[in-house]
A and B are shown apart, each in its own frame.
Chain A
Amino acid sequence: MRYLVVLSATTLLVAGWNVWVVLHSDGIVRGQVLEADGHPAEGITVTFWEKTLTTLERRASTQTDRDGRFLFVGQPAHHFAVQAERPDDGASPRTLYRRYFRSQNFVLAEPLRLGKGP
């Protein structure tokens, strides 16, 4: 009976988790970039970096829209960094994020803030 309960509970948990993963794994990463003064930053290059065992590897980059929003699709990394950068005019810190599973749809909790230019 104990085996039945433990195995059933484990199977249910694993099955439920896998269903959740399948439904929420498009590899989407959303966020927003703000200027140093708090206004949305348009046309900023945002770069997606994957954290590997030893280093950060550049995987993709995109541009922010009029509201400073950006979107990455199909990025599976579970441990990654995102950085917003305006050439020759400042960048946000390269911030590390973690996902509970690969390709989890993810929204950055805080907007990226551009720093002062060099």
Chain B
Amino acid sequence: MRPSNAVAVHAALLIVSAAMLLPFYWVLKTSVTGENIFQYPPTLLPRSIHPFYYVDVWYYVPFVRFVANSVIVSVLVVVANVVFNALAAYALTLAFRGKRLVILLLLSCMLIPFQATIIPAYLITKELGLLNSHLGIALPLCSTIVCIFVFKASFDAVPRSLIDAARIDGLAEWRIIRHVMLPLSMSALATNVILAFIWSWNSFLWPLIIIRNQEMQTLPLALSTFLSYLENTTGALYAFCIMVLVPGIVLFLLEQRRFIEGLTSGATKG
């Protein structure tokens, strides 16, 4: 790329990045200043920064309890996703009768929105006695089709000779997944972990339906309740938003290289 082109491309990327990051900056700025988001004229730079809205959030609601609920649910979802998706993806790399039909069925299931299946999901969860429980919140997210295909794309790239050698050495199928497939699919694993974590961390509708008391609320649900308490306290509200967002952003930043690798390998090797 010529230098003049590179400058133009970087300028365009900077503008697009600024446009995408501006809302996050605005939320962060409001959380440390409490300036009304609708004030006119708007100010770009924050004045009189302080952390007291974060202190308000910490003490006005049982924040640690909400974080603990979100962490428990996210851990359940991440572990279940890694296990179930890896098993399903490995099965889809094997040759069996009706494999195309199973893949077609899985892909077609992706077209059905969760809202359309929420009543059966609720009834099943109720029958299992998991309403108002961490496992109940985690249940619908324990396996996701997108992540199965991320694993499948990665498993397909593992040389068959390696799997055959493992079989000849006497490894059982589940040990092949654990000791051969997963170590060679770290990008797919990271993608699974990040996507499962973010989806469960941000999940709102399902917990709203099955949670009955405040002690079991996850962070997005607690944020909604907090909004109803303090409808005009923008500073504390936005501080709460930042506190909900930070864990997901940190996890993404820690694993962004593998996450991008996992998604792109799914796009090119499938």
Contacts and interface: CB of A to CB of B under 8 A. Distances in A.
Contact of A53 (B50, B229, B250): B229
A86 interface: no
B55 to A, nearest CB: 6
B254 A6 contact: yes
A6 B50 CA distance: 24
Contacts, number: 22
Nearest to A99: B55
B52 A98 contact: yes
A53 B254 contact: no
B151 to A, nearest CB: 22
B144 to A, nearest CB: 24
A78 B59 contact: yes
Interface in A76-114: 78-79, 98-102
Interface residues of B, number: 11
Given A3-B254, A98-B55, 17 more contacts: A2-B254, A6-B250, A6-B254, A53-B60, A53-B229, A53-B230, A78-B55, A78-B56, A78-B59, A79-B55, A79-B56, A98-B52, A99-B55, A100-B51, A100-B55, A101-B55, A102-B59
B56 to A, nearest CB: 7
22 contacts: A2-B254, A3-B254, A6-B250, A6-B254, A53-B60, A53-B229, A53-B230, A78-B55, A78-B56, A78-B59, A79-B52, A79-B55, A79-B56, A98-B50, A98-B52, A98-B55, A99-B55, A100-B51, A100-B52, A100-B55, A101-B55, A102-B59
Query: Which range contains the number of A residues in contact with the other chain?
Result: 10 to 19
B194 to A, nearest CB: 14
A102 B59 CA distance: 8
Contacts of B59: 78, 102
B85 to A, nearest CB: 22
Contacts of A98: 50, 52, 55
Interface string A49-84: 000010000000000000000000000001100000
Contacts of B51: 100
Interface in A1-23: 2-3, 6
A3 B193 CA distance: 14
Contacts of B52: 79, 98, 100
Interface string B250-265: 1000100000000000
A29 B55 CA distance: 18
Interface string B170-191: 0000000000000000000000
B27 to A, nearest CB: 21
A53 B59 CA distance: 10
Nearest to B254: A2
